[in-house]
Amino acid sequence: MTFEQFAVARLPSLLRYAVVLTGDRDLAQDVVQEVLARAQVKWRRISDADSPEAYVRRMVLNEYLSWRRSWAVRNVHAVGERLVDIDDARGGVNDPAQGVVEADALWNRLATLGRKQRAVLVLRYYEQLDDEAIADLVGCSPATVRSHASRALKTLRLSPEFAHRIHAKEAS
């Protein structure tokens, strides 16, 4: 597969992943653009990897974790930037208005988390990775992953709707 074929096929998925990580569409586009520019230069080596997509997703995660404009991560998001706008976001709500309210509350709560805590939750609940895989990606121990997740969930539990969504995901 050429780099161009990869980029065309995987760009929407990479953008959704970056939006969930960053909480900001513009920042997500910047992160993915930077990563794809670097990936194009290294494509021969990346394409030889077991999973080029996993390699590039890790590049996106690393770029997000090292992003210098951290103010954008903590920025409160407009109504148009909601988790329900993401095509493959898991879960759902019967009442669209309630879904908008919950998604906006979720974005606001996620924006209060540190980057590593947010990344751990995204990798655990959006990417559905186990603690060992997350530890490998983030560069820490599985115990640290659990600590980040615990602290993040404690912060997010202030919202009853979010706690309900988390418990529903854990049960499935």
102 with 109: CB under 8 angstroms? no
**DSSP one-letter code for 123:** I
Domain 3-70 adopts which CATH fold? Rna Polymerase Sigma Factor; Chain: A (1.10.1740)
pLDDT given at position 78 = 45
Q: Is 93 left (phi over 0), alpha (psi -120 to 50) or beta?
A: beta
pLDDT given at position 23 = 85
**Four-way CATH pick for 82-171: 1.10.274.50, 1.10.3720.10, 1.10.10.10, 3.40.50.300:** 1.10.10.10
* pLDDT per residue rounded down to tens, the chain (172 residues): 899 999 999 999 999 999 988 888 888 999 999 999 999 999 999 999 999 999 999 999 999 888 654 444 444 444 444 444 444 444 444 566 776 777 777 777 788 888 899 889 888 988 888 999 999 888 899 999 999 999 988 888 765 555 555 555 555 5
Report the distance separating Cα 28 and Cα 90, nearest Å. 19
Q: Domain ranges in the chain?
A: 3-70, 82-171
